[in-house]
Chain A
Amino acid sequence: MKTFMLGWEFPPFISGGLGTACYGLTKAMDRLGIEVLFVLPKGFEACSPGNVKILSSRYIQQGQSPEGFKKLKFRSIATTLRPYIDFESHRYPSLHSKKQKSHLGFKSPGTGEMYAVDMYGEVSNYANKAAQIAEMEDFDIVHAHDWMTYPAGIAASHVSGKPLVVHVHSTEFDRSGEHINQRIYDIEREGMHAASKVLAVSNYTKNLIVQHYGVSPEKVEVVHNGVEIDESSSPRCSAEKQDKIVLFLGRITMQKGPEYFIAAAKKVLEVISNVKFIMAGNGDMMHRMIDLAARLGIGHKILFSGFLTGDEVRKAYRMADLYVMPSVSEPFGIAPLEAMRQNVPVIISKQSGLAETVCHALKVDFWDINEMANKMISVLKRPALQTTLSRNGFYESHKFRWEDTAIRVRKIYEETLSRS
C-alpha cells in the first residue's frame, strides 16, 4: 500500500494543529508499513506548538526519509503557502478584505522579507506541481489534508487515475463562523465532492460537512486524532507557586474564542484573586485582547506570552493548574489532550470534536461565560476536583492513539480501493 499524501505543514514547519496531526498520522502509518510519499510546500521555518519531536530540516532534501521513519519520503514544492498567518499579518487579509481581493503582504518570521502572494495562485501552482510529481510516481491512493491541497489532490487523482481521499481537519465554518469566504468554501466543496471518501476528525465536523457542503453522510468517515506520547512527562511544578495558573494555548483568533476566556477570567477574579491567566499564542485578535483585558481592569492578571515552542509548551503545561479551550468551533482539539497527558485538568467548549469523545474533561458552551467561570473557580478552589479530573484525564488521554487512527485510515483505503 502506497499513499500519495498532500499536506502543507510538517514538523518542524508547523504553526498549528494540522502539522501535529499530519506528523502523528504519518508516523503511525509508517509503523504499519504503509508507504507514504508526502508532498509538502517548501514553507517557512515555524515552531512546533506541541509535543512533537523536532526533526532535522535536512529531510526536506528530495526523497530522503526523516529520522525515525522507514517508508516516508518527501517531495517539496517551492511555495509560500501557509495554513495560518501570523498576527502581524492579520489573517488572510487578501481573502477577506474587499478592497484587496487577491494580493496580500505578509512577513516571513525571522526574515522580515515581504512577499506579495496570490493565495489562489499558490494553491493552483501547488496543484500543478503535485500533478507533475504524481505522474512520475507510483502509488495506490491520494490523500489530501485540508482545502489548500484539495485542488492538488483532484489533479493528482486525475493524472494517476487513483482514488482521492480528503481529510478535513477544519472547515471554513470553523475558521470564519457564518462569514465564510466563498472561494475557500467552493474549493472545499469541490474537494469533498471529487473525493471517494471524506475523513472528518469528529462527528462534530462530519455534521458540518453534511449540513453545509451537501455531502452524503455515508461518504463521510469519522477518524479521531491521536495524541503523541511524550515520554518526557515529568511531575508538575505546583510547589511554592503563589498564584494559580490558568492556561489558554492556541491562536488568538475568532475561532479560538479568546474574548470568552478573558470575560470568564474577569468573573473568576471577582471571586478569587490569586490567579494568573496565560494566553499563549499569536493571532489577529491579540491586540484587541490586550486592549480588552486592560479595559476590564485585569491587564496585570492576563499574561500574553506569544507563540510557544515545544519545550516552552511543555513547561507551560507543567505550571498550569487548569487548561481552558473556549473555542467557538473546534473540529477536534489535540492541545487539550496534550494537557491531559501532562496531568492538567481541562475545560473544553462543547462546540468541539473532543467534547464528544472525552469524559474526563469539563465541558461548557463557549458563550456561557458564567458557567465557564463557575467551573474554573471550582477547579482552582477544590483539590479533590483537580485530582480526580487530572488523574482520570491522564488515563483517558492514552486512549487516543495515532496507531488506531492509522489502522482506521488503512481500512478506509482498503474499502475505497476494493470499490474502485
Chain B
Amino acid sequence: MASVCFYFQVHQPYRLRHYTVFDSDYNYFDDKKNAEICRKVAKKCYLPTNLLMLELIKKYKGRFKIAYSITGILLEQLEKYAPEALKTFKDLAATGNVEFLNETYYHSLSFLYSRDEFIEQIMAHRRTIQRLFGQTPRIFRNTELIYNNHLPRVIEELGMFDAILMEGADHILGYRSPNFVYKPSHSSSLKLLLKNYRLSDDIAFRFSNRGWSQWPLTADKFAQWVNAVNGCGYSVNLFMDYETFGEHQWEDTGIFDFLRHLPGEILKHPDNNFKTPSEVVDSYDAVGTVDVPRTLSWADIERDLSAWLGNAMQENSLSELYALENKVKSTGDAEIISDWRKLQTSDHFYYMCTKWFADGDVHKYFNPYDSPYESYINFMNILDNLDGRCTRALSAKEPVVSGAIQGIKRTRQIRNNKYNTNFCFSERS
C-alpha cells in the first residue's frame, strides 16, 4: 500500500516599498506591486491550478485528495486583489477532499524569537481558516518547515494538533525512509510527516530541467517511482510550493498536463491511493522517533536556517524587530501591530541572504531587490520609523505611561540579551 500525500504551500509576502532614511510616512508597503504580483500569480497559478484540482477531484469521485497551507497574509491579499481565486479555494474546501493546515498567519520566524507572538499568530491563522473554509486544522506546519525538538513541545501544549510536517532530511533520518510516520523524541501524542524531498523536488525543481537525466518527466514515469515505494513505506509525502504550477514551472513546460494525468497513473496501481495529512496520521502508527537538536528547514542544500539567519544583517534585523515586541504591543494600536507583524514575514530576511549571492541562483529569482544589502537598508529604515512611531504613540497615551516605560525597559533587556533570547527560546527544555 502506498499513499500519496500532497501538501502545497501557498504564500506571498507584503513587499516593502523603497523607503529611505529621509522618508517619514507610515506607508511601508508597495501596494501597487503587491496587487500586481498577486493578480499575476493568481492568473498564472492559483486560478488554473485550482480549476484543475476541482476537475480532478470530480473526475476521480473523491479518490484524489490534497492539502494546502495558505498564509494569512496571502488570504488577505487574495480577498483584496484576486477574490475570484479565493473563491476557487473555497470551492475546493467545499468538496470535502481538501485539507487546510495551520501555520503562522504572517509566515514568520516567530518560533525562533517569541513564544507569545508565535502562538498568537497560529491562533490568528486558525481563526481565518475556520472563517473562510469552515475547517478546524489538525496539522501544524511551521514556516519553511523549520523544526527542532522544541517545536513539538510548544505545539503539543496547545492541545490542538495531531501532527507536524517536517523535512525528511538525510542527516536526520540516516538509513530510515521518509515514507513512514514518525514521532518526535520528546512528545507522546504528536506524529511527524516527513517530506520525501527527492520525489517532491523532481516536480518542484527538476521538472523542466533539460539537463536532468530523467527529463522529460511524465506522469506514468513518476507513478512508477511511487509504486516502487510499495512494501517499504506508507505514504509518499509530496510537499512543495503551490507556485510550482504555472509560476516556477511555466505552463509551456507541460506542468499542467503532468498534473492532469498524475492521479490516473497513480491510481492505476490497485494498492495506491491519495490521502490528506490527517488521513495519513489516522491510518498509520509511528514507526520510530526523530531527534532534531539542531534546527532544520526545507531550504537550500544545507536544510538549516542559513537562508534567513546566515549573516550579521539578518541576525541584526531579526533581533531588532523582535526587541520591539513589547513596545509595539503596548501601544495597543492595531495598525502599528499589524505593520510590525507584516515585517516579520520570513521573505524579508531571505532577501538579505548573501549566501551564493555572487553566483546568482534561486535566491535572486525571488528577490525584488538588486542586492541583499539594499533589502537590509530598506528594512532597517522602516523599522527605525516604526520604532519612532511607537514612541510617539506611547507618549500620546498618557494614562499608560508607566506601562510604556515598562515596555521600553523590557525592550532594552531583550536587546542586551539578544542571543540568549533568540536561542534559549528554541533550545529551552
Which A positions have Cβ atoms within 8 angstroms of B? 267, 271, 359-360, 362-363, 370-371, 373-375, 377-378, 382-385, 387-389, 392, 396
| CB of A281, distance to nearest CB on chain B (Å) | 26
Contact with A along B6-36 (1 / 0, CB 8 A): 0000000000000011100000000000000
* Chain B CB within 10 A, most for which of A267, A359, A362: A359
Within 8 A of A (CB), among B128-174: none
| CB of B55, distance to nearest CB on chain A (Å) | 45
The segment from B85-93, B204-212, B290-298, B374-382 that touches chain A is B374-382
* Of A271, A383, A396, the contact of B21 (CB 8 Å cutoff): A271
Give the docked Cα–Cα distance between A363 and B374 (Å): 9
Q: Closest chain B residue to A272 by CB distance?
A: B21
Within 8 A of A (CB), among B326-360: 354, 357-358
Give the docked Cα–Cα distance between A387 and B312 (Å): 7
* Chain B CB within 10 A, most for which of A370, A373, A385, A392: A385
Query: Closest 4 CB pairs between A and B?
Result: A384-B316, A374-B20, A384-B312, A378-B377
| CB of B20, distance to nearest CB on chain A (Å) | 4
B60 at interface by CB-CB < 8 Å: no
A371 with B358: CB separation less than 8 A: no
| CB of B204, distance to nearest CB on chain A (Å) | 27
A396 with B358: CB separation less than 8 A: yes
Give the docked Cα–Cα distance between A388 and B354 (Å): 9
A388 with B21: CB separation less than 8 A: no
Give the docked Cα–Cα distance between A233 and B313 (Å): 25
Q: Closest chain B residue to A267 by CB distance?
A: B22
A392 with B22: CB separation less than 8 A: no
Given A271-B21, A371-B20, A377-B21, verify A385-B373 contact (CB < 8 Å). yes
Q: Closest chain B residue to A392 by CB distance?
A: B354
Contact with A along B367-394 (1 / 0, CB 8 A): 0001111101100110000000000000
Please give, as numbers and ranges, the residues of chain B lying within 8 Å of A392 by CB-CB distance.
354, 357
Given A384-B313, A385-B313, A388-B313, verify A370-B373 contact (CB < 8 Å). no
B413 at interface by CB-CB < 8 Å: no
B315 with A384: CB separation less than 8 A: yes
| CB of B361, distance to nearest CB on chain A (Å) | 12
| CB of A340, distance to nearest CB on chain B (Å) | 13
Q: Closest chain A residue to B358 by CB distance?
A: A359
Q: Closest chain B residue to A350 by CB distance?
A: B370
Question: What would 30 A/B residue contacts be, using CB atoms closer than 8 Å?
Answer: A267-B22, A359-B357, A359-B358, A360-B357, A360-B358, A362-B371, A362-B373, A363-B370, A370-B20, A370-B22, A371-B20, A373-B21, A374-B20, A374-B377, A375-B377, A378-B21, A378-B380, A378-B381, A382-B316, A382-B376, A382-B377, A382-B380, A384-B311, A384-B312, A384-B316, A384-B317, A385-B373, A385-B376, A385-B377, A388-B354
Give the docked Cα–Cα distance between A392 and B20 (Å): 24
Number of B residues near A (Cβ < 8 Å) is: 21
Please give, as numbers and ranges, the residues of chain B lying within 8 Å of A371 by CB-CB distance.
20
Give the docked Cα–Cα distance between A253 and B371 (Å): 30
Please give, as numbers and ranges, the residues of chain A lying within 8 Å of B358 by CB-CB distance.
359-360, 396
Please give, as numbers and ranges, the residues of chain B lying within 8 Å of A384 by CB-CB distance.
311-313, 315-317, 376
Within 8 A of A (CB), among B214-256: none
| CB of A374, distance to nearest CB on chain B (Å) | 4
Give the docked Cα–Cα distance between A360 and B313 (Å): 13
* Chain A CB within 10 A, most for which of B21, B312, B317, B380: B21
Please give, as numbers and ranges, the residues of chain A lying within 8 Å of B381 by CB-CB distance.
374, 378
Please give, as numbers and ranges, the residues of chain A lying within 8 Å of B316 by CB-CB distance.
382-384
Q: Closest chain B residue to A387 by CB distance?
A: B312
Please give, as numbers and ranges, the residues of chain B lying within 8 Å of A360 by CB-CB distance.
354, 357-358, 373
| CB of B392, distance to nearest CB on chain A (Å) | 18
Give the docked Cα–Cα distance between A387 and B20 (Å): 21
Q: Closest chain A residue to B384 by CB distance?
A: A381
Please give, as numbers and ranges, the residues of chain A lying within 8 Å of B312 by CB-CB distance.
383-385, 387-388
Please give, as numbers and ranges, the residues of chain A lying within 8 Å of B357 by CB-CB distance.
359-360, 392
Please give, as numbers and ranges, the residues of chain A lying within 8 Å of B317 by CB-CB distance.
384
Give the docked Cα–Cα distance between A383 and B315 (Å): 12
Please give, as numbers and ranges, the residues of chain A lying within 8 Å of B376 by CB-CB distance.
378, 382, 384-385, 388
Please give, as numbers and ranges, the residues of chain B lying within 8 Å of A362 by CB-CB distance.
371, 373-374, 377
Give the docked Cα–Cα distance between A385 and B357 (Å): 15
Given A359-B357, A382-B380, verify A374-B22 contact (CB < 8 Å). yes
Give the docked Cα–Cα distance between A271 and B357 (Å): 31
Q: Closest chain B residue to A377 by CB distance?
A: B21
* Of A373, A383, A388, the contact of B373 (CB 8 Å cutoff): A388
Q: Closest chain A residue to B317 by CB distance?
A: A384
Give the docked Cα–Cα distance between A377 and B21 (Å): 8
Please give, as numbers and ranges, the residues of chain A lying within 8 Å of B380 by CB-CB distance.
378, 382, 385
Q: Closest chain A residue to B380 by CB distance?
A: A382
Give the docked Cα–Cα distance between A373 and B23 (Å): 12
Given A359-B358, A384-B312, verify A374-B21 contact (CB < 8 Å). yes
Q: Closest chain A residue to B374 by CB distance?
A: A362
